[in-house]
Structure 1
């Protein structure tokens, strides 16, 4: 507990409540953990601490679901993950270089961009071309380092296509798992990852498991159309909440 002494009781309560809620949404949709949690968590602790703590929790969660990912994910997830790793560290260094206020504003705008992207018309099921896939991977890496949010380019890539939701969910989980591990590694290499952030992430992880499990139970009980509508609502609510808090 001494390692958590740098965090106030209010910060820990906010972190715990927001983590449980974001994990439930992640279990239901396959994404949303970072998009929902980072804007809220970054109002309680610094953006860098929020991003790194999130990556620790998301990385551990992805490891627990690796069999599901290998069984159901689309092959494009591997290509996107490789490119993502390349640009994660530059994104984290950019976050560290900006002021806290500006970083929080940009993180909120990132969440808003994901909502706008999901409103675009659904596309055919075929895998997009190399350029689209490449830009998705590179931009997801930048956003992983900067905001622990690879979702804005990745979610529309899968949810915006006419593919089974199980495939979309498994592909996103796989990419987000790689993103989380790349984020933690970048934090360690850059010297920004402190032990108290590691302890905070580990302390919150049981709530992640609980929320994700409850969300997974709900995933099997909703229709494909309802699931896609819920995805859009989650993205919109996260972006709106982050912007309102900043104003």
Structure 2
């Protein structure tokens, strides 16, 4: 019972963060689920609960999606997914926990730095492959896209909509990959089912403040929280 309540709260927090800032769902949920369960369950439960949020967001804001960029990034991400699945299936749990925490901290640093990436065909392709690897291995695939979209100068609504479109495409293929390697088991399905109602609730709460808070301010709040969650997860893995 305690785990189901915790799972609901984690998903609610992640959905709220992503709805307001356009990213952050997996960066919030994966480290917290890792502490509550194990890293492999954390990655797959995050993917299962996130897919409804991203598909809904992509459909709702489809007029703001940059479909050409979304298609290019999704296509190249598929090249990285098999590598990420191999990491998820073969790396020891304690090593995977540390990897997730380190990746989250690195992603926080990337977003906080305001780094700009090359946005030509080669740069977009490299970002896509990296996103594919991170999607399957750690579930934390947003920050490279955040950096790329920052370089492209997208406004908040275009930013959020295009991210959602990419997450939807990669997420659906990623779920098929998780099923193929046997990672969608009874525990994963149960946790996903009990936490799923938190997704529309988090979306609703996030939309209440989306137009009332400056995205930069909320993004900074999210980044501080992510540093804390990643730090705690890293300490737990080390202990």
d(CA) in 2 for partners of 1:142 and 1:122? 20
Name 1:16's counterpart in structure 2: 8
Shift of 1:55: 0.8
d(CA) in 1 for partners of 2:234 and 2:111? 23
Shift of 1:122: 6.4
Alignment partner of 1:65: what SS? helix
Name 2:18's counterpart in structure 1: 26
Task: Tell me if 1:133 matches 2:121.
Answer: no
- 1:179–1:236 CA distance, 2 compared to 1 (3 A): farther
Name 1:240's counterpart in structure 2: 228
When structure 1 is superposed on structure 2, of 151-160 and 13-22 the one drifting more is: 151-160
d(CA) in 2 for partners of 1:22 and 1:67? 20
**1:53-202 matches, cutoff 5 A:** 53-74=45-66, 75-121=68-114, 128-202=119-193
CA contact under 8 A between 1:122 and 1:162: conserved in structure 2?
no
Shift of 1:68: 2.9
Shift of 1:40: 0.5
CA contact under 8 A between 2:84 and 2:132: conserved in structure 1?
yes
Shift of 1:123: 5.2
Unaligned 5+ runs, structure 1? 1-8
Shift of 1:170: 0.7
CA RMSD of aligned residues (A): 2.0
When structure 1 is superposed on structure 2, of 69-78 and 184-193 the one drifting more is: 69-78
CA contact under 8 A between 1:105 and 1:243: conserved in structure 2?
no
When structure 1 is superposed on structure 2, of 57-66 and 134-143 the one drifting more is: 57-66
With the length of structure 2 as denominator, give the TM-score of the two structures: 0.90
When structure 1 is superposed on structure 2, of 130-139 and 112-121 the one drifting more is: 112-121
- The Cα offsets for residues 155-175 of structure 1, whole Å up to 9 and x where unpaired, read as 111135432111111111111
d(CA) in 2 for partners of 1:236 and 1:79? 31
Alignment partner of 1:128: what SS? coil
With the length of structure 1 as denominator, give the TM-score of the two structures: 0.87
Task: Tell me if 1:50 matches 2:42.
Answer: yes
Q: Aligned pair count?
A: 234
